[in-house]
């Protein structure tokens, strides 16, 4: 549950904000939603064969919002509640939301976009941990911006000099880093779909959500 909160609180916050609720209301709803998920054991109801976890969570959120019209009551639920690791994160939520595009993104589209970004962030964190553990933190720090970039746009020669390696060796390192990133991305997505055969489709969906946002 802690992992779920840390990974996916912001897509939920952004969804609620785009519905038109204030920052304070969105904070309360985000906390309330995860509290409800924990208390009512919603995750026990989720079975991987039923579909994608992304869709399951969004549907649960829509039901929660529809049933939580009395925000004054929601802010004063009362009684002991399980601690949720969202207080620090939510303090910066509105600053993060302020830079969201103010175009025609619907609540569903902004949820999809932020979900995709959350998946990429989790994968990058995993890759960073691997690189640090293998003593290559400096290399990762300099190359992480190239994970999704195009090789034609890279200044390999200058970067190779900076990292005290050859241009050819640097290209190999970037290629391997990208390959590992792709492997970890598919692993991450595999945790949220019913079958391995759905990984490719979910990946395409997430990339489309980023391109069309």
pLDDT in tens, 15-29: 999 999 999 999 889
- Give the whole-angstrom CA distance, residue 132 versus residue 87: 28
| Per-residue tokens: 211 | 């391109």
Q: Fill in the DSSP letter of residue 51.
A: -
The pLDDT, as a whole number, for residue 40 is 74
What percent of the chain lies above the pLDDT cut of 70? 78
The pLDDT, as a whole number, for residue 102 is 63
Range of weakest confidence among 34-48, 119-133, 156-170, 193-207: 34-48
Average pLDDT, the chain: 82
80 band by pLDDT with thresholds 50, 70 and 90 = very low
Same domain, 20 and 77: yes
Same domain, 42 and 69: yes
Same domain, 112 and 95: no
106: three-class secondary structure by DSSP: coil
Domain span at residue 14?
1-100
195 band by pLDDT with thresholds 50, 70 and 90 = confident
Same domain, 134 and 211: yes
The domain tally of the chain equals: 2
Find all residues with CB under 8 Å of 37, minimum gap 6, and list them.
1, 4, 43, 60
Which of 82, 100, 118 terminates a domain? The answer is: 100
57 band by pLDDT with thresholds 50, 70 and 90 = confident
The pLDDT of 102-125, averaged and rounded, is: 89
- Give the whole-angstrom CA distance, residue 200 versus residue 189: 9
């Amino acid at each position: 549950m802690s992992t779920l909160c840390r990974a996916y609180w912001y897509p939920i916050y952004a969804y609620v904000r785009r519905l038109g609720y204030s920052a304070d209301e969105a904070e309360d709803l985000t906390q309330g939603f995860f509290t409800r998920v924990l208390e009512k054991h919603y995750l026990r109801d989720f079975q991987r064969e039923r579909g994608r976890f992304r869709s399951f969570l969004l549907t649960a959120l829509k039901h929660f919002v529809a049933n939580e019209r009395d925000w004054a009551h929601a802010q004063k639920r009362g009684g002991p509640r399980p601690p949720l690791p969202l207080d620090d994160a939510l303090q910066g939520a509105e600053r993060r939301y302020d830079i969201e595009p103010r175009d025609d993104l619907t609540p569903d589209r902004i949820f999809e976009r932020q979900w995709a970004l959350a998946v990429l962030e989790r994968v990058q964190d995993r890759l960073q941990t691997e690189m640090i553990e293998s003593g290559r933190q400096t290399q990762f720090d300099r190359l992480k911006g190239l994970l999704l970039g195009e090789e034609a746009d890279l200044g390999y020669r200058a970067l190779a000099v900076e990292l005290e390696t050859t241009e050819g060796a640097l290209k190999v390192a970037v290629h391997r880093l990208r390959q590992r990133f792709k492997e970890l991305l598919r692993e991450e997505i595999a945790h949220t779909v019913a079958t391995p055969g759905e990984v490719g489709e979910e990946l395409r969906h997430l990339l489309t959500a980023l391109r069309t946002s």
